[in-house]
Amino acid sequence: MPTYKAPIENVRFVLNEVFDVSQIAKLPGYEDATPDVIEAVLEGMAQFCEEVVQPLNLSGDAEGCKYENGVVRTPKGFKEAYDQYVAGGWMGVTSNPAYGGQGLPHTVGAVLEEFVTSANMSFGMYPGLSAGAIRAIEHWAPDDLKQLYLPKMVAGTWSGTMCLTEAHCGTDLGLIRTKAVPDTDGTYKVTGSKIFISAGEQDLTENIIHLVLAKLPDAPPGVKGISLFIVPKFLPKEDGSVGPRNGVMCGSIEHKMGIKASATCVMNFDDAKGWLIGEPHKGMRAMFTMMNAARFGVAMQGLGIAEVSYQNALAYAKDRLQGRSLTGAKATDKPADPIIVHPDVRKNLLTMKAFTEAARALSVWIGMQLDVIEKHPDPKVRQEADDLLALMTPIIKAYFTDMGSEVANLGVQVYGGHGYIHEWGMEQFVRDARIAQIYEGANGIQALDLVGRKLPQNMGRPLRRFFHPASQFIEAEMENPALAEFMPLFAKAFGKLQQATAVVAQKGMANPDEAGAASTDYLRMFALVAMAFMWMKMVKVAVAKLPEANGRASFYDAKIKTARFFFQKMLPETETRFRTIMAGSKPLMDLDMEQF
C-alpha cells in the first residue's frame, strides 16, 4: 500500500527562501496572503490529502467508475471525500471573493494541485476541471451568467467541464461538427457529440456546467468559426436552484489505462439549451483561458506523480535488503544491505529527487507570474509576466509530464518485481502519469507551439523574459566563489540554448519542417536549462544559509549535493539535444511514405 506525505519543508524552502512569497501580499487584493496564512492553508490541504484522499487512491483504481443508463457512479468513498473537500472551502481557495472564493494567490493554488495529484490524481480531476471552467466563465461570460453560475461553482456544489474534442478530429478543432442554432429566446440549441470529457458525468455535484465548442449556422470554416457555449446538465431556475434536465446525456465512459476513478465520458448534446459566452466565432480565444490554466494544472500533475513515486521508492530502497555494497557491507548486523547502497538505485532516486525539487521551484516561479498578471498595478510588469507565462506554459506542460512518466517508471524499477504488482501502488502511478503527456495538447503539440508560435511572437519578446533574467544571474554571480562549481556548467548550457534558438528560428523560417523536426528536442533542452536556473537559485540560498543552519544543515547540504548530481548527470543531456537539433529535418523527412 503506497503512502504519501506532503513535502511541506521543501515547499516552504521554495516559497520563503528561494522566491520571497511575502512579496505577493504586496499586490492589491492579496494583502491577506501573508506567509503565515499560506502556511496554514498548505498544512490544511496536506492533512486533507494525507488522511482523506490518498487512502482512496488504490481502491479507487481497482473499483473504477461505473456507468449505467447515462448515470456514472464514482468509486466508494469519493462522494464523501468530495463533500469534505467542499465543506473545507477548498474549491474556492484561489477564486474571486465576489463569488464566494477566498482569493488566495495562484502560487498557492499550484502547490495545492501538486498535493492533490500526489494523493489521488483521479480525485483531483473533478475539482481541477471546475477551476478551469470558473476562470473561463469569469473572464468571458456576461454578468448575469456569472452571478448565476459562479457562486455555485466556486462553492463546489456545481462542477464544470470543457467539451472540445470530437471522435473524428482530435486536436484539429477546426473540424468539429457540433452545431449551435439560435433560438427565439436568445439562447441556442446545441447538438453534437464530444469525447474524452473528463468529469462529464459523475455523482459528486448536483449540477454539471459544460463549456462546449460549437459552430453557428453562419460560421466560417476552420477554427475561426468556433464559438463557446455554457450548457448546463440541469437548467437553473431564477433562484439558482436546479431545474429540469437539459438535452445533454452521457453516452458511455471510456475503459482506460489509468486514472480509472476519473470518469472520461462521451457526451451527447441533443438540442441542449446553451448560452453564448464571448463573441460569436471567437470561442477558441475564450476556451484558451481554460486550456492554458488546464495546461499549467497538467504540469502540476506530472510533478505530483513524480513526488509520490519518489517518496515510495525512497522508503522501499531504505527498507529492502538485497546484496551487499560493492565497497563492503554497510549493514553488518543484517543479512544484506538495503538497496539504497547500490549506485544504480541511487542514480534512479537522485534523478527523481533532482527533478521534483527543481520542478517545484519552476512551478512556483511561473505561478507567481499568474498573480502578477492579475494583480500588479503596472501594465508593463503585467505584460512581462504574461510573456513569461506564455513562453513557459508549453515547456512545463510537456517536460513535467514527460518526467512524471519517466520518474514513475523509475519508481517501478527501484521496487523490482514488486513494482509490477498492483498492491504496492507503483504501477498505478505509471498508468496514471501516462495520460498527462497526451491530454490538453499532446506534448508534440506543445513543442510545435513553442517553436512555431512562442519563439517568433512579438519579435521574440516572450523569449527575452527568460533569457534576460538568466543572463543577468550569470553576470551577477559569475565571480561568486560559492557557485564556482556550478556556474560554468549553467553558462555553457545557456549559451548552447541561445545558439539552438537562433538556428531553429533561422532554419524554421526557410523550411517549417526544420522547426518541426527540432521542436521536441528544443523544448527538452529549454526545460533542462530552466531547471538548471532553478538549481542555481536554490544552491545560492543553500550555500549562504549552510554555515549558520544549525539543525537544518543537512537540509541545505542535501540541496547542494542534489544540484551537483543534476549538473553533472542530467544537464549534459543538453549537449545531445543540441546535436540532434543541428542534424536538421532530413533524417526524419527523407523516407518516402511507402518505405515505412
The set of catalytic residues is 440
Looking only at the bridges linking them, the beta strands covering 248-253 and 264-277 are: antiparallel
- CA-CA distance, 71 to 202, in Å (whole number)? 7
* Nearest partner of 380 among 457, 454, 461, 459, judged by Cα: 461
Task: Output the furthest CA–CA distance in the chain (Å, rounded).
Answer: 84
- CA-CA distance, 587 to 517, in Å (whole number)? 9
* Nearest partner of 489 among 498, 478, 499, 502, judged by Cα: 478
Q: Which amino acid is at 270?
A: D
Q: Which amino acid is at 231?
A: V
* Nearest partner of 5 among 38, 39, 51, judged by Cα: 51
Q: Name residues whose C-beta falls within 8 Å of residue 330's C-beta, 6 or more positions apart in sequence.
A: 324, 337, 338, 341
> For residue 172, what is its C-alpha cell?
484539429
CA angle 119, 122, 128 (to 5 degrees): 95
Q: Other CB atoms closer than 10 Å to residue 178's CB: what's the count?
A: 19
* Nearest partner of 319 among 301, 339, 302, judged by Cα: 339
Taken in order 20, 26, 29, 34, is the CA torsion positive or negative? positive
> For residue 189, what is its C-alpha cell?
440549441
Q: Say if residues 157 and 206 touch (Cβ distance below 8 Å).
A: yes
Q: Say if residues 573 and 532 touch (Cβ distance below 8 Å).
A: no
* 512-545 helix and 343-375 helix, angle to the nearest 10 degrees: 100
Q: Which amino acid is at 99?
A: Y
